[in-house]
Amino acid sequence: MTQPLSETFERYALGLARKESLPPEPHAEMANRRKAKLLRLLKAHGIKGWPERGTLFTRQLSDGCKPCLSGEASHLSVTTLCNRDCFFCFNPKPRKDVLSVHGREVSSLDEAILGLKEMGVKSVGIGGGEPLLFPQRVFEIIKALKKNLGSDLWIDLYTNGERLTLNILKELKAAGVSGLRIDLAAREYDAEPVRLAREVFNDVEIEMPAIPEDKKVVRDIMSYLDELGVKQLILHELFASAANIDSLKKRGYHASSSGSPDFRLTWSPVAKSEETVYGHLLYALIHQFKMSVYYCSCRTQDWIAENALKNQKLGTVPH
C-alpha cells in the first residue's frame, strides 16, 4: 500500500500538521534589515551554501546531510517515548511506543526495511523520542538495516545523550552507526555526552534548534565543542507545528516573516531563530573553528521535500 506523492512533504515527524499560526513578528522590517546586514557580513567572511534557500555552512556539508539535501534520506523513529519534555519537541502527545518510518507508523521492522528499500535511501537517521530508552532494540535495527540495505548505508543516531555510556557507544559502533547526532538543547547544553562520544566515534555532530534566548550559552560552548573535535554543529531554524505551538506561544514567540512565498510545509519558522543562527555562523567564521557550522532552515526543509518529489525512487512513500 502506498501513500500519495504529496505525503512526502510531511517528512521526518509524526506531529507536523498545522494547527494555527503564532502571532506575526513585530517590527519585521527591522528584523529583516538586521538579517540582510548579517548575511552581507557572512558573505564577506566566506560563508558557503545557498542563501536563497536558507542553507548555509562554514566549511563542509555533513556526510549524513548530503543525501538528505538531495532527497535520498529518511528517518526511522524507534519510539516517541522520551525521558525529556522539550518545549520545542514536534512529537505528538501522548507519546507512543511505536516504530515509524518517514513519519508513518509501521507494524514491524521488516515493514520498515521494505519501505526504506523501496525509497532507495542512502542515509537513515535513527531517532525518536529517545531511541536509547531501548538500546537493544536500536542495535537490532541498525544490524538489520546494514544487512538489508548494504554496508554503505550511512546511519546517524539521534539522541539527547542522557543514556549514553561507553559500553552503549561501543555497541552502537560495532552495530554499524556511522555518526552520532546529539541534541544539546534537550539537556541544558551539557556537553559531557559529547566528550564521552568522542572517545568512540570520529563523527560526532550536534544537531539542535537555534533558540534565540540561548544565544550566549551556545556561543560559550562553541570553542569547547571545536576542541573536542565535533565535526558539525547543525542548527535548525526553530519551527512551530501542531505539537509545539502551545508551548511556543507560552514562551512569547512570534512567527517569522522569512518563509519563502511558495512555502509548502505544514510547519513554520519562528521569529529571531534565523538571525540567531546567522550570528553563530559569523562567530564560527571569525574564530576559524575547524568544526563546520551548518544552518538548516524551514526553507531548506521545503527544498528537501521538493528534491524528494523529483527523485523517481521517492515517487511514493510505502505505508
**C-beta of 93: minimal distance to ligand SF4 in Å?**
10
Cβ-based nearer residue to ligand SF4, 285 or 296: 296
Alpha carbon 236 to its chain centroid, in Å, reads 6
Alpha carbon 310 to its chain centroid, in Å, reads 22
Residues in the chain: 319
Alpha-carbon distances, residue 20 vs 17, 123, 249, 265, 302 (angstroms): 9, 33, 11, 13, 19
Cβ-based nearer residue to ligand SF4, 84 or 143: 84
- What are the start-end ranges of the E strands in the chain? 2-3, 48-50, 55-57, 73-77, 99-101, 104-106, 123-127, 154-159, 179-182, 204-210, 232-237, 239-240, 268-269, 292-296, 317-318
**C-beta of 14: minimal distance to ligand SF4 in Å?**
11
Cβ-based nearer residue to ligand SF4, 31 or 78: 78
Cβ-based nearer residue to ligand SF4, 82 or 172: 82
**C-beta of 301: minimal distance to ligand SF4 in Å?**
16
**C-beta of 237: minimal distance to ligand SF4 in Å?**
15
Closest CA to 193 of 208, 181, 202: 181
- Given phi > 0 = left and psi -120 to 50 = alpha, else beta, which region is 250? alpha
Alpha-carbon distances, residue 292 vs 48, 183, 195 (angstroms): 11, 16, 17
Cβ-based nearer residue to ligand SF4, 241 or 292: 241
Cβ-based nearer residue to ligand SF4, 105 or 226: 105
**C-beta of 48: minimal distance to ligand SF4 in Å?**
28
**C-beta of 223: minimal distance to ligand SF4 in Å?**
25
Chain residues binding ligand SF4 by CB under 6 A are 82, 84-86, 89, 91, 128-130, 160, 183, 186
